[in-house]
Amino acid sequence: MKFPSSAQRMLRNPFRIVSASVVCFTLVGGALQAQSAAFVVGNDRGGIVGDRAAEIRRLKSAGRRVEIRGRICLSSCTMYLGAGDVCVDPETRFGFHGPSYYGQPLAPQHFEYWSEVIADHYPKPLKDWFMSTARYRMNGYHTIKGAELIRLGTPEC
């Protein structure tokens, strides 16, 4: 069988095949390692619930660890608690309130829908508390320290 000249050179020098394999493995391994690096959340004041939910889906599907650190994690930032592989700093203050449209009340059906979207990102005891209490707060925040979330079962960073 006749091989192209570059293939003949590769076959004559098996070191090239091994070194090419090592280079490919190193590149793929590095890409996987970079892809799974921790996503660190620090001093996040929140944002749009739908956008945050989409970001959390992407992090979960990529298998990224989420570390919630910093002084504060407010509003939609708290949804990272449902990101799968997540941990929290015991000193971080988490701020919870109900869904609104830039501070304006939502129609009842929208309020229910977005409350569920938010709550679905919380562990069970936190979800129950949010749905019965925190979602009705429209001014300011109900705050919980990371230490309390750790006590409820969220891993510590």
Average pLDDT of 1-25? 41
Asked if residue 147 is part of any domain, the answer here is: yes
Number of domains in the chain: 2
Same domain, 25 and 68: no
Based on the domain organization, do 45 and 92 belong to the same domain? yes
pLDDT tens track for 103-135: 899 999 999 999 999 999 999 999 999 999 999
Mean pLDDT confidence for 40-54: 94
Higher-pLDDT residue of 37 and 4 is: 37
101 shares a domain with 77: yes
Among candidates 112, 89, 3, which has minimal Cα distance to 41?
Answer: 89
Domain span holding position 87: 37-151
Which pTM does this prediction carry?
A: 0.75
Instruction: Kindly provide the b/e burial profile for residues 126-155, where b requires at least 16 CB atoms within 10 angstroms of the residue's own CB.
Output: bbebbbeebbeeeeebbebebeebbeeebe
